[in-house]
Amino acid sequence: MNSLLSRFAENSLWIARYIERAENLARILDVNETFARDEQGASNWLPILQLHQDEKRFAGRYRTVDAANVVRFYILDDQNPNSISCCVRAARENARSIRHLISLETWTQLNVFYNWVASLNRRHVNLNDLSRLCARIKEGCQLHYGIVNGTLYRDQIWSFYRLGTFIELCDQTTRLVDIKYHSLLPQHEDVGKPIDVAQWNAVLRSASAYHGYRRVYPHEMTPRTVASFILLDLRFPRSVTHCAWQIGHAVEGLLQNADLERVNFAPAALDGLSELAAWDIERIIGFGMHEYLDQVQLRLIELSEAIDETFFLSRYSAA
Amino acid sequence: MTFCYDRAKRSPQDWRQQTAKTTDSGYERPQQGMNQASSDIFGDYDPNGYFCEMFGAPGAEPLTATELIRSRLGRMRSTTLKRRAKATDRELFNLGITFTVYSERDAIDRVLPFDVIPRVISADDWSTVEAGCIQRVTAINRFIEDVYHERKIIRDGIVPADLVLGNANYRSEMQGMDLPHGTYVAIAGIDLVRDTDGRFKVLEDNARTPSGVSYVVENRHLMLRAFPDLADRIGIRQVSNYGMKLRQALAEIAPAGVEQPRIVLLSPGVFNSAYFEHVFLAREMGVPLVEGRDLVVEDGFVQMKTTSGLKRVDVIYRRIDDDFLDPAQFNPESMLGVKGIFEVYANGRVALANAVGTGVADDKALYAYMPRIIRYYLAEDAILDNVETHLCREPEGLAYTLDHMEELVVKPVGESGGYGVVVGPRASKAEIEEARKRIEARPENYISQPVVGLSVCPTLVDGGIEPRHVDLRPYILTGKESWVLPGGLTRVALRKGSLVVNSSQGGGTKDTWVLE
């Protein structure tokens, strides 16, 4: 009798995804402002739009790709479903539906956080103070994980939350590397120039990987070592390897629920993801970085579809 | 478990209240003679000729049943009372015990105002209310069953045919359908008022989806936390088992042969004004809170979408109206219902509470016939009287109403929530003329009743303690048999002199204490 409504499982997964997405955005905006400057000191904001495949949507609403517009687009814009404002609202609406399944603290924090984000306006988004604003947004997201980790009852709801977290993390990491890797691959004459290192620094910080990277590679910074760390280091919580491992773990935990004993869930995408996560950097470069990341993305999409089909019974949803 | 939880929740402020209490000299001592009455918080209290729930009939000796509560309250300082009242308000808001008020432009979450002075009902009075409610619900169920089968009551000329068959809530689809135990109305709410003589009278029957029971239970929790000293050893009948009793009643009306029925609560969703109550009831019953989109009809059954696949649902406590239940059968525009659910229901493969078509019994015009309906089916006189009612559909009723507009309360028959009600003695000339025109245009749409001198209860207002009018809605659950929650919702008209207790019209609630 311990059945969980599909909709509630879906709500749980999406709370995790939306909050993760909001945090990631805040970090990227912050890092871009601080680190991603070229030799003249100008920062380039186009890659952020490419990262989220938002070039078209942005062009429909703003004239120039500059810091002010991109930041507004990603923090405040209610018309942009990828904005922090929209992500936090979506997370809160999902939480509202499963208020009875989450702790009071989880709900209250998310509600207060949402109300704060919703109250932000142009005056709050001051470019000179962007770093502090982004820090507060990140903190709100991190506080949310902390409360969920500390209070959520470890049944199916938890497993779906974990699935959401690591599918989103893996998705974000692969997007980030895909955009940055090629644009930052050194031209012959640039190798070893200072800007090169600064850019890779920014990539590491965008993925919250800088301090971990420094512990593993204290003396070295090459595209190869950076990509290898971000994508393949099992101990780095946002790597493809770590996420694939956590996703497998979450599925295993999920299927241990008595209620799901008879559910058959072993999608090819899951094995495919584990297999890709076991590659080494030489093989990836040989295969082609973009092609590799594409494969990871495809497996994530297939996995999400399999979850929709098996657990959320998407086939019964009204057309 | 509950004990530990409550203790853990004690804040330093509560601790200070405890200290204040013990230094409040004589506070815990029983009343020592009437000479102290003038110095207590009831000193200036005057029920104004109305029956008072705390003191009793005007001119008579104060009620003995409420003596201890009166004396404890009387000795409380009004600052203490106000401080604790403020704390309960804050608690309601923090817990999100809110309802949604819809105006033309926006929807606002509001706390239903809560008054900390309880409404007390003696064991004797309660036994009358209890028996009267069970009698009424029994008759209502027999009536609905008859209406959808042989219609004997119409053939015997007790109730006019057009009143039943012409009712917008009559569902011909229900004709001939047999329900377990003949229970159509599994959850009823009967609105009672008390006249100046203290007799309980029925004001209205709610046989579709009576709401408000969550406040009964939450108000009690709130009271016991804020006034443990007032409630101490009084002997108040408990209300916290409502969820269990509801679940039991619902299980009893499951389709025949289902051993352990799967029960769900079907809600229109988070935007419904009573969503808080839906969450509350689902939690108290330990059943899933579902929306229409979570249910599908498959293999001839209603099934719920779960992570382990489709699961058969046997009983649905639905908090959506007949109209929205099934787009295939009723309103095709409905996004809230489940396509094909009515056919499953008609095949006896799922139970709905309340049944489809019960609205035929809680019509304000049919209400006038209730004493006769009770006599017809049960061969008994009604234990609880009706308020005298004039049907504008009948020539004499219409003439009387139009001649006495200034003295009568006029009510449209199809509305709920107190909308469209005109209270003659308080209405302006223009309002009365306007009402008169509406009645003349559609007489069958109106009834009128004399103004009932609704009983009052001491209520904490800005100026201190003043009388405010109250009503009472007991909740009656029926599976195999009927059971009445000892208490019910006491609604209080917080505006001075107002007789309208609806939450949408400035009403609040009180905790209702039925004594052992």
Q: A44-88 pLDDT, tens per residue?
A: 888 889 888 899 999 999 999 888 999 999 999 999 999 999 999
Chain A residues with CB inside 8 Å of B294's CB? 5-7
Does residue B445 have a pLDDT over 90? no
Does residue B5 have a pLDDT over 70? no
Token code pair at residue A73: 């687009």
pLDDT of residue B106: 56
Q: Please answer yes or no on whether A99 and B279 come within 8 Å at the CB atom.
A: yes
Mean pLDDT, chain B, integer: 88
pLDDT of residue B83: 93
Q: A170 - beta bridge partners?
A: none
pLDDT of residue A191: 53
Q: Please answer yes or no on whether B305 and A5 come within 8 Å at the CB atom.
A: yes
C-alpha pair distances (Å), B320 with each of A52, A119, B43, B269, B476: 41, 34, 48, 10, 19
By Cβ distance, the residue of B260, B270, B306 closest to A6 is B306
By Cβ distance, the residue of B282, B294, B308 closest to A100 is B282
Q: Is omega for the bond preceding B354 within 30 degrees of 0, making it cis?
A: yes
User: B263, B303, B306: best mutation site toward chain A, by most A Cβ within 10 Å?
Assistant: B306
Among B77-91, B187-201, B365-379, which stretch is predicted with the lowest mean pLDDT? B77-91
Chain A residue closest in CA terms to B298: A316
B313: left (phi over 0), alpha (psi -120 to 50) or beta: beta
By Cβ distance, the residue of B270, B291, B305 closest to A316 is B305
User: A1, A2, A3: best mutation site toward chain B, by most B Cβ within 10 Å?
Assistant: A3
Does residue B55 have a pLDDT over 80? yes
Does residue B153 have a pLDDT over 90? yes
Q: Please answer yes or no on whether A260 and B262 come within 8 Å at the CB atom.
A: no
Chain A residue closest in CA terms to B269: A97
**A45-50, long-range: CB within 8 Å, 24+ apart, which pairs?**
A45/A70, A47/A179, A47/A180, A47/A183, A48/A74, A50/A179
Give the number of other Cβ atoms within 10 Å of residue A239's Cβ: 24
pLDDT of residue B15: 35
Q: B110 - beta bridge partners?
A: B99
Chain A residue closest in CA terms to B304: A5
User: B109, B265, B307, B334: best mutation site toward chain A, by most A Cβ within 10 Å?
Assistant: B307
pLDDT of residue B102: 60
Tell me how close the Cα of A190 comes to any Cα of chain B, in angstroms.
54
Does residue B417 have a pLDDT over 60? no
pLDDT of residue B17: 37
Q: Please answer yes or no on whether A9 and B307 come within 8 Å at the CB atom.
A: yes
Tell me how close the Cα of B287 comes to any Cα of chain A, in angstroms.
10
- Longest Cα pair distance anywhere in chain B, in angstroms? 75
Q: Please answer yes or no on whether A100 and B305 come within 8 Å at the CB atom.
A: no
Give the pairing of strands B200-206 and B385-386.
Answer: parallel
Tell me how close the Cα of A7 comes to any Cα of chain B, in angstroms.
7
By Cβ distance, the residue of B279, B283, B305 closest to A313 is B305
Chain B residues with CB inside 8 Å of A6's CB? 294, 305-307
Q: Please answer yes or no on whether A312 and B304 come within 8 Å at the CB atom.
A: no
By Cβ distance, the residue of A5, A312, A318 closest to B288 is A5
pLDDT of residue B109: 66
Distance (Å, rounded) from C-alpha A134 to C-alpha A28? Answer: 9
- Cβ-count burial B484-516 (b if 16+ within 10 Å, e if not): bbbbbbbbbbbeeebbbbebeeebbbbbbbbbe
**A215-222, long-range: CB within 8 Å, 24+ apart, which pairs?**
A221/A197
Residue of A168, A280, A273, A184 whose CA lies nearest to A232? A280
Rg, C-alpha atoms of chain B: 24
Mean pLDDT (10-residue bins), chain A, 319 residues: 87 98 93 67 80 91 91 94 95 90 91 92 88 95 98 95 98 89 66 67 90 92 91 97 98 94 94 97 94 97 97 81
Tell me how close the Cα of B270 comes to any Cα of chain A, in angstroms.
7
| B312 backbone dihedrals φ, ψ, rounded to 5° | -65, 135
Identify which has the larger pLDDT, A184 or B426. Answer: B426
Q: Please answer yes or no on whether B294 and A259 come within 8 Å at the CB atom.
A: no
- Cβ-count burial B413-436 (b if 16+ within 10 Å, e if not): bbeeebebbbebeebeeeebeebe
pLDDT of residue B18: 36
pLDDT of residue B34: 41
pLDDT of residue B22: 36
Does residue B28 have a pLDDT over 60? no
Q: Please answer yes or no on whether B306 and A5 come within 8 Å at the CB atom.
A: yes
**What's the pLDDT tens digit per position in B259-310?**
899 999 999 988 888 888 998 999 899 999 999 999 999 999 999 999 999 9
Does residue B9 have a pLDDT over 60? no
Does residue B432 have a pLDDT over 70? yes
pLDDT of residue A146: 97
Q: Is A309:A266 a contact under the CB 8 Å cutoff? A: no
The pLDDT-based confidence of B12 (bands split at 50, 70, 90) is very low
Q: Please answer yes or no on whether A7 and B294 come within 8 Å at the CB atom.
A: yes
Q: Torsion angle, CA of B57/B60/B61/B63, rounded to 10 degrees?
A: -20
Write the DSSP string, B411-432: EESS--TTTT-EEGGGS-HHHH
Give the residue numbers in B contacting A (CB under 8 Å), as ranges: 260, 262, 270, 279, 282-283, 288-291, 293-294, 296, 298, 304-311
- Cβ-count burial A20-31 (b if 16+ within 10 Å, e if not): bbbbbbbbbbbb
Beta-carbon contacts of B450 under 8 Å, excluding residues fewer than 6 positions away, are: B387, B388, B407, B408, B409
pLDDT of residue A114: 92
Chain A residues with CB inside 8 Å of B310's CB? 313, 316
Q: What is the mean pLDDT of residues B75-103?
A: 80
Chain A residue closest in CA terms to B283: A100
ipTM > 0.85 (yes/no): yes
Tell me how close the Cα of B311 comes to any Cα of chain A, in angstroms.
8
Beta-carbon contacts of B444 under 8 Å, excluding residues fewer than 6 positions away, are: B365, B392, B393, B413
Strands (E), B438-506: 446-450, 456-461, 464-473, 475-478, 482-484, 489-493
Distance (Å, rounded) from C-alpha B16 to C-alpha A314? Answer: 56
Q: pTM to 2 decimals?
A: 0.83
| B257 backbone dihedrals φ, ψ, rounded to 5° | 90, -10
The pLDDT-based confidence of B35 (bands split at 50, 70, 90) is very low
Q: What is the DSSP letter of A270?
A: H
**What's the pLDDT tens digit per position in B346-376?**
999 999 999 999 999 988 889 999 999 999 9
Q: What is the mean pLDDT of residues B238-255?
A: 97
Q: Amino acid identity, residue A18?
A: Y
